[in-house]
Amino acid sequence: MKKKDTLFVGLMLFSMFFGAGNLIFPPFLGMGSGTSFWPAITGFIITAVGLPLLVLMATALVKDGVNTLGSRVHPWFATIFTIVVYLSIGPFLAIPRNANVAFEMGIKPFLGTISVSGQVPLSSFSVVFFLLVYLLSLNPSKVVDYMGRFITPVLLLSIVILCVTGFLNLNQPLKAPTETYQTASLFKGFIDGYSTMDALAALAFGIVIITALKQKGISDKKQVTLYTLKTGVIAGGALALVYIGIGLLGAKMAGYGTYENGTDVLSSAATILLGFGGKILLGVIFTLACFTTCVGLTIACGQYFSKIASILSYRMVVTLVTVVSFSIATLGLNQILKVSVPFLVMAYPLTIVLVSLAFLHRFFSGSQKVYACAMALTGIVSLYDGLKLFGLKWGLLESWMDTLPLASVGLGWVVPAVAGGLVGIFWEKLSRLTSSSKAVELKKAS
């Protein structure tokens, strides 16, 4: 495959990853972390760039991607986990969230005196937005050309203009970190990276990238893995640079006022730096970023569900995903965000442990017991953490969970995951020893 084609596939992957969360959270992290920006953004990049890249590689190394990884735990887990991942990064959460953010940042600031308290402007925008998503998603073979060659360069150029203008004109020194980032800022940034949802998206995007590579004539497994790595590095490098850029922009903006969220930070920065033109530029950035991500997620859902359910054609799945996403998007951004964080706190640890085990697979001979034990203990802690964020009270269980190592920084699942893996290894060795003993006894008896 030509270097030019590799670059375009990498840029397509970047555009599919780079959506609402990727724009919202880095500037807010920068504003809060202040002088602790570098450790905080490092933690963020680990989970928002490094982890998705590892997930992408793990799915490329095995046949059928995430479904094969999940089956190493249990066939039922593979089915349920994979479907939940695709639905969450698809029509039930990520796609509606991106559509709402595109409206909030790309259209709402220009409505002026038009009332936006009702659903009419959002609904009207969503009709046009999802119609375009639907039309582009029907032709996944054209996505590399549309997104890699045209849309992504415009998106990156727009971000560069905003960041460079900010670095040249925002002269306030970085402020002291807020209470949240005063201690363990690296770990706080690590948890913040969950909100991009990119590790979950990578589980789905693997099939899209592999399909795109095969359309370019790459079919050998080793070559597919190699080019997946190359395109992943291109996408990951671009993501990391953008995160650092808009994160620093947020850190500098802390000296110009207080802001409720990342969209407020970027809106104020664009207005201060470029006036009304800044609003237009920011609208272009958010709309393109959210649109390309929605297209990528819709294609991923279409390819997956049409593959596992033969009665559903690719066109049928894309139609269903688009209709359901549109319906949920009209509920509004606040309702969607209320569900997203608790869900991600439950899903991300499971994803991290599953992918980590995939890379350690040969060291424990791929024992199903190791996968099952590690995932079971991880699941207990992550389920507790997620339900706690929904407001559920746990009494004595809460006191016990709070004593887990790293629980104070949101990583209470780490030690249970390791312990579960060790229990699985011991269980596997004990099972083999028992089987060997029985074999010897049977041989003697015969």
Residue range 5-47, pLDDT digits in tens: 888 889 888 988 888 788 889 999 999 999 999 999 999 999 9
CB within 8 Å of 413: residues ≥ 6 apart? 349, 353, 377, 378, 381, 382, 385
How far is Cα 289 from Cα 310, in angstroms, rounded to an integer? Answer: 32
Residue ranges of the chain whose pLDDT lies below 70: 64, 112-120, 144-145, 333, 337, 438-440, 442-446
pLDDT (tens digit per residue) in 218-238: 877 788 888 889 999 999 999
What is the enclosing helix (H) or strand (E) of 230?
A: helix 221-253
The CATH architecture that domain 3-331 belongs to is: Up-down Bundle (1.20)
| Distances, alpha carbon 270 to alpha carbons 102, 246, 408, 422, in Å | 16, 11, 36, 51
Domain definitions of the chain by residue range: 3-331, 334-446
pLDDT of residue 21: 80
The Cα-based distances of 362 to 142, 207, 223, 354 in angstroms read 38, 24, 21, 14
> Which pair of structure tokens corresponds to residue 233?
């590095």
Return d(Cα 210, Cα 179) in angstroms, integer: 44
Phi, psi of 18 (to 5 degrees): -80, 100
Specify the pLDDT at position 115: 47
What is the SS3 assignment for 130-187?
HHHHHHHHCCHHHHHHHHHHHHHHHHHHHHHHHHHHHHHHCCCCCCCCCHHHHCCHHH
**Helix, strand, coil: what percent of the chain each, to 5?**
85, 0, 15
- DSSP string covering 266-315: HHHHHHHHHTHHHHHHHHHHHHHHHHHHHHHHHHHHHHHHHHH-TTS-HH
**Residue 24 to residue 290: CA distance in whole angstroms:** 11
Amino acid at residue number 103: F
Q: Are 158 and 17 in contact (CB under 8 A)?
A: no
Query: Which residues in 236-275 are b (16+ Cβ under 10 Å) and which e?
Result: bebbbebbbbbbbbbbbbbeeeebeebbbbbbbbbebbbe
Residue 243 has a pLDDT of 96
